[in-house]
Amino acid sequence: MEPLSPRAERARQIADVLRQRITSGAFDDGPLPAEHELGTQLGATRNAVREALGLLRAEGLVERRQGVGTLVVHPKYGHGLDRLAGLAEALDGYGDVVNEVRAAGLVTPPPAIAERLGLAPGARVVHLERLRRLGGLPLSLDTTYLPADIGLPLLDRDLAGRDLFALIEETSGSRLGRADVVVHAVSAGPDTAALLEVAPGTAVFALDRLTHLADGRPVDAETLHIRADRLTLRATLHRGPA
């Protein structure tokens, strides 16, 4: 392995500390302290601080503005992985989530989707695609497949303003149960990047989620592409039996 310079290592470690402070909201109300001040706080040289800020700029987390200093680009919202909640529920209090409904209708899905939903190959399902915004800026692109009996009643409802989870519970009369979630970090392809209004190649979350009714029936197979510069995923884990 190539040896790395101690200075680069130091910058990376400082970037780790700053990332944690930034995403916990320490600098949401104004610019970060000046480089020399950060250096004092972090016990680091000004050069190391400058390199660390360069890494965080490359991540899209902060930007430098002339005459103002270094600013956090977007406050990062936390989406809990502890409890199954829709995005609007999770962001309650941060502002209104508005959904641009880009597709809504019956389709014959790929057999892999039918299988995930426990349907026969060729069964028609409701396909929804929604671009979700908070404060006007895209947060996520959600591609959803639902069995026809669950999905069709949703088409008359307020898909632009409401979370699917709440709507499914209302129209089906059943509570949701568990969801199996797999989280990936991927580079946004040109198409996803254009929709999410980020540069192609930007790191985003891709989240596969299969949600079941309380009785165990799978009713909602989704892939969400989430802007990682705007949303973090949070969880509290507990140590089980050894």
Q: Which is nearer to its own copies, 23 or 66 (CB)?
A: 23
Q: Are 86 and 163 in contact (CB under 8 A)?
A: yes
Q: Which is nearer to its own copies, 71 or 84 (CB)?
A: 84
Q: What is the DSSP string of 139-162?
A: EEEEEEEEEHHHHGGGGGS-TTTS
Q: Which is nearer to its own copies, 57 or 157 (CB)?
A: 57
Round the CA-based radius of gyration of the chain to a whole number and report it.
21
CB 149 to its own copies: min, Å? 20
- Residue that is written with structure tokens 């709507």 in the block: 167
Q: Which is nearer to its own copies, 66 or 238 (CB)?
A: 238
Reported in sequence order, the residue ranges of 81-136 that DSSP labels E, i.e. its strands, are 97-107, 125-134
CB 47 to its own copies: min, Å? 15
* Phi, psi values for residue 172, rounded to 5°: -85, -20
CB 67 to its own copies: min, Å? 27
CB 91 to its own copies: min, Å? 16
Amino acid type, 45: T
